[in-house]
Amino acid sequence: MRANIRTVLFDLDGTLADTAPDLAQALNTLLKEEGRAPLPFEKIRPEVSHGASAMIKLGFGITTQDADFDRLRKRFLALYSQDLHTHTRPFPGIETLLQDLQQLGINWGIVTNKPAFLTEPLVAGLDLKPAASCIISGDTTVNRKPHPEPMLLASIQAGSRPEQCLYVGDAERDIQAGRQAGMQTLVALFGYISQRESPDRWGADGMIDAPRDILNWLRRDG
């Protein structure tokens, strides 16, 4: 057992919860409003972890320099905020995992780049038990991932030192942030990773195919 780990921290989208269906619905609703054809879910899913800006770039083929970008991004967020929970669920195995962690004396938390006005109602709607020991959103701190600042705040709120934390995420910036904060890291391969990405090159301490694999990793001698 890796006895030094006292806290497991999760990215939200693509790691703790499968938010892609509701985010895809918001994007396709916006595309229809703008007179464009909807995109297939399979094309949207790999981009979800990269946030609202990535959704607009994907859907409209524009950059942040485009005159319409900010308007479209705000409308996308408004649509999404109105419908956060229709299809979003914890990934299979997450709820059991959190209970098992509690039995091992390990608490858990969330570090996401999602803004708090979306994160807080979404997490409340998931109603996960035991409750998170900390929830750090994209606007909780001055800097967002891949900067280590939100990770370090999470460790403080969770009552653990950074080296006592394991961070699990599905994007390269997650692993970068965790490593820079002095945490151990795992890549959630079940998350929103595109074929053009190479998670084996991100420098994580391991990769997992399902949430339950976190327990197997923790139980190894480290």
Encode pLDDT of 113-122 as tens digits: 999 999 999 9
* Mean of pLDDT over the chain: 96
CA angle 59, 112, 150 (to 5 degrees): 135
Together in a domain, 147 and 213: yes
Residue 168 and residue 208 in contact, taking contact as beta carbons nearer than 8 Å? yes
Q: What is the pTM of this model?
A: 0.95
Per-residue CA distances from 149 to 40, 145, 179, 207 (Å): 36, 8, 12, 24
Reduced to 3 states (helix: H, G, I; strand: E, B; else coil), residue 192 is coil
Residue 11 bears catalytic tag: yes
Q: What is the span of the domain harbouring residue 26? A: 20-81
Region 79-107: mean pLDDT is: 97
Give the pLDDT confidence score for residue 77 in this predicted structure. 97
- Phi and psi angles of residue 35, each rounded to the nearest 5 degrees, phi first: 75, 25
Catalytic residue chosen out of the listed positions 13, 18, 170, 213: 13
Give the pLDDT confidence score for residue 1 in this predicted structure. 62
Domain boundary, last residue among 30, 46, 81? 81
Residue 70 bears catalytic tag: no
Together in a domain, 161 and 201: yes
End-to-end C-alpha distance for the chain, whole angstroms: 7
Catalytic residue chosen out of the listed positions 11, 18, 174, 213: 11
Together in a domain, 149 and 105: yes
- Cβ neighbours for 67, distance < 8 A, ≥ 6 positions apart: none
Encode pLDDT of 40-55 as tens digits: 999 999 999 999 999 9
pLDDT tier, 220 (very low <50, low <70, confident <90, very high otherwise): confident
Residue 2 lies in a domain: no
